[in-house]
Amino acid sequence: MKDAPDKGSPPGLRIDKWLWFARFFKSRSQATDAVAGGLVHVNGERVKPSRAVQIDDRLEITRDEVRLEIVVQGIPVRRGPAPEARAHYVETEASIAERERRRERARLAPPAPDGRPDKHARRILRDLRRG
């Protein structure tokens, strides 16, 4: 027989469900794959999709080249509209600043060349990357 949940513990929700409810992923299976693949960390630890998320947990979510750091503010009961989903988390100041830096760097970057760069262009690109 399974033990009844402790009445004193705060309510939680599976991390994959929470990410889907909060609209970080379009489907729950995408959220599950991201957590299982190590793209989501809870309080600095790699977790399994069944891990329960609690209020005030710090999540680090990596999607493509973007890394978000958020703090859980609430546990949603359904996958609602985006404004409702945003009410359940707060992005950290460091995460916002990093996204702004990336956006500015991308805006100032020269346009991507057509095709493969030649020897001269590769040297210029290598020098740009090294600073």
| Domains in the chain: ranges and CATH | 13-130 (3.10.290.10)
Q: Which residues of 68-105 are buried (b: 16+ CB within 10 A; e: fewer)?
A: bbbebeebbeeeeeeeebeebbeeeeebeeeeeeeeee
d(CA 23, CA 5): 27
Model confidence over 40-72: pLDDT tens digits?
A: 999 999 999 999 999 999 999 998 888 999 999
Whether 85 and 107 have beta carbons less than 8 Å apart is answered as no
Q: In a structure prediction context, what are the per-residue pLDDT tens digits for the chain, which is 131 residues long?
A: 444 445 545 568 999 999 999 999 999 999 999 999 999 999 999 999 999 999 999 999 998 888 999 999 999 999 999 999 999 999 999 999 999 999 998 888 878 768 888 899 889 989 988 86
